[in-house]
Structure 1
């Protein structure tokens, strides 16, 4: 048998939002460095996700299959159980530690590095240089790190200031990522420990880029104490096409679907509803089509950027009246500035994607040393005044003219520093 030197192993949480970006990263690494070989650790029911990658790089990629601990039974992917099953899936993956260690110890050509999901902090202990891969951005990673030893802050009814982060953003606790809000259960404490280990890994890789999250990538470098922090995004969604052979289970409950439908109807905004097995309530199409609310679904195919993922965890049923009002405000005049900023961010991201294609011909400059990053942050000016989000429930925007007074409730309150921070906290 011909023996290859395995450059790295890939290990991911079996969830589409985590696994597919890691496979895209693997594809890009092989395209840039054709002399490496990669082993992807996967479970049987997730093996079909690797088919495009195995087809594109048959001599460079191999799949190493481990039986998945059956808890819950017959489930190997978060999408088969819904977002509430994140903790169970992570606990099951943790049970693969001993089989993986045994496989590595018997490997004729042990891997020189491992890239694993940021939920899998325990892979730091495998005795191989580990790069923590974040399928999301550096801002979320910074928040998780900040709260890793400050869970007591969630007991406060007052807005929480993340004083250690760039520009010290302020959030209400319910606006913070649910990943940070752990209960004292054994499984949740293990998840917390895994999260804390990410910044002590050999390196960190983010599905983001310097032009979008430069200050937070620099923050991660300061916290890790080294420059092995890489923004490799946005990872392409078009080079490889993935499909899933697994049965799709419900993500939104019937009550959530009904509330969302009523909110969309009340908002009077045009929309595209993309559903899997979740039923659209009876009569909705008839009522909204007559008002030209229901948009041709082909728009979603032609302009994927307009799609919004409704549920990424949680069982809360939104209030239809409040959600409908927020949708109407966001899609109306109040959201014009936000949409403009989103468009500008898209253009910047597109430019970054084009720049990635030229890296082979024009290598990027060496990263700044840690001391230089500290000096640059000290000189960083305060962010300019702009649209700000009221942290009361009115969800209206302030302006430079109103200073710290909400244009809706007219109360003198705190504002979040940037709307983008709240949007990022919903990840």
Structure 2
């Protein structure tokens, strides 16, 4: 009988952090069925229903362990989301330690894998005689920045956004200081201090860093990382890892029925991810810009992020369509469809009538769009999304970036222009072709014998050789 190899993965709080690391473990086990995975999950307050229902679908060899939730009273009320995530993990470290102690009392733990925000937990690996790995859910370009950030912090004395020259990381597309992740935009902030601390720890991930990207997509950054660190830091590109292989069927969904009646590649899909919201002013401009473009659209709309939206949510309202400009739905009923809050994104992107994706450039959305061959209009909002937008637009040339005015608003004329360029212009056609080539490369990478599959098998074989029970 084959031995069972036990590993533990540690997520950070929130659905969008949980899914990437769990999908990684599912991919791992699809190639190595003798693995048993314990998934340790910190949370702030009660775990969200989305996380609970997602975890209920997991196979028996992935065992979720919800830690005692951190009391919301123990964290600052209006802190930046990244700060809240980090504080939740920090306060959960004693519980993580207890969970690992309990697991290792039953069977040896071969490897400990932590999400970027939970990297401190890798300090426990030595105590439990486990190998330690970081699971980096973003791309190699962001990883490169994190590894270079301590040095950058020492070399630069001003705010990064005030730098006149671009930052040139080995193998990466040049980045302006204003395009670095959101926490770096105020170097005196708690968010920056925590980000810098995480960056300093990345190089200490003793046995390797698993990256959710693939060689054909980010060959420059991946090769530069491998050469520059010369084996001191082992990077393992194992992506693209998305929910595409485990999506919930949504065949009766309204927007999919609507898409059935649209011509091929004629619709721009508009969505800012599970956490992306706009102000009321920006919603107005986006609505009028889509109308002005004359292009067919499918728009996932959430309540605005300003005080108007907060009052709406507190009142328990469920219909964000009330925030659209007066008469907009009537005027555009032949042109587009607006759906409240959610759409089955993977199925939408896979639909033949969708020809473009206006996106916040969250990494999951980037990979999903790539796997379906859909070019992007890049409208980054927070986190590392501006970096992703630069890589997509300047590096891979599969995206158009929107231009913000001095008040941080994308005006309706600019929206109409980029939508028409992507959906109707020669530039858009060229991007569509390049994105289709990347789609083929992404599929090849995770096939049997593909670059990412071979990398994953190499890592898993090391774990199996460490022994099991």
TM-score by length of 2: 0.63
CA distance in 2, matches of 1:363, 1:86: 30
Change (3 A) 1:36 1:364: closer
Q: How does 1:370-381 map to 2 (within 5 A)?
A: none
- Write out per-residue CA displacement over residues 349-390 of structure 1, whole angstroms, 9 at most, x where no aligned residue: 122233458998x899989xxxxxxxxxxxxxxxxxxxxxxx
- Write out per-residue CA displacement over residues 10-44 of structure 1, whole angstroms, 9 at most, x where no aligned residue: 11223333321211111122222222211111245
Pairwise CA distance, 1:170: 2.6
CA distance in 2, matches of 1:274, 1:317: 19
Residue 228 (str. 1) matches residue 221 (str. 2): no
> Residue 19 of structure 2 corresponds to which residue in structure 1?
20
Pairwise CA distance, 1:231: 1.4
> Residue 239 of structure 1 corresponds to which residue in structure 2?
245
CA contact (8 A) 1:166 1:216 kept: yes
- Write out per-residue CA displacement over residues 226-283 of structure 1, whole angstroms, 9 at most, x where no aligned residue: 273211111252332369xxxx887333333223222322333322102355624042
- SS of 2:64 mapped into structure 1: strand
User: Structure 2 stretches of 5 or more lacking a match?
Assistant: 250-273, 305-319, 361-379, 384-406, 460-469
User: Structure 1 stretches of 5 or more lacking a match?
Assistant: 76-80, 368-427
- Write out per-residue CA displacement over residues 171-193 of structure 1, whole angstroms, 9 at most, x where no aligned residue: 33323332443532345312321
CA distance in 2, matches of 1:306, 1:321: 18
2:109 corresponds, among 108, 111, 115, to 111
CA contact (8 A) 1:6 1:39 kept: no
| RMSD of aligned alpha carbons | 3.9
1:287 corresponds, among 331, 337, 341, to 331
Residue 263 (str. 1) matches residue 261 (str. 2): no
CA distance in 2, matches of 1:83, 1:209: 34
CA distance in 1, matches of 2:214, 2:193: 31
Aligned length: 351
TM-score by length of 1: 0.69
- SS of 1:146 mapped into structure 2: helix
Residue 130 (str. 1) matches residue 102 (str. 2): no
> Residue 410 of structure 1 corresponds to which residue in structure 2?
none
> Residue 420 of structure 1 corresponds to which residue in structure 2?
none
2:359 corresponds, among 302, 309, 324, to 309
CA contact (8 A) 2:97 2:124 kept: yes
Pairwise CA distance, 1:50: 5.9
Change (3 A) 1:13 1:341: same
1:322 corresponds, among 399, 414, 425, to 414
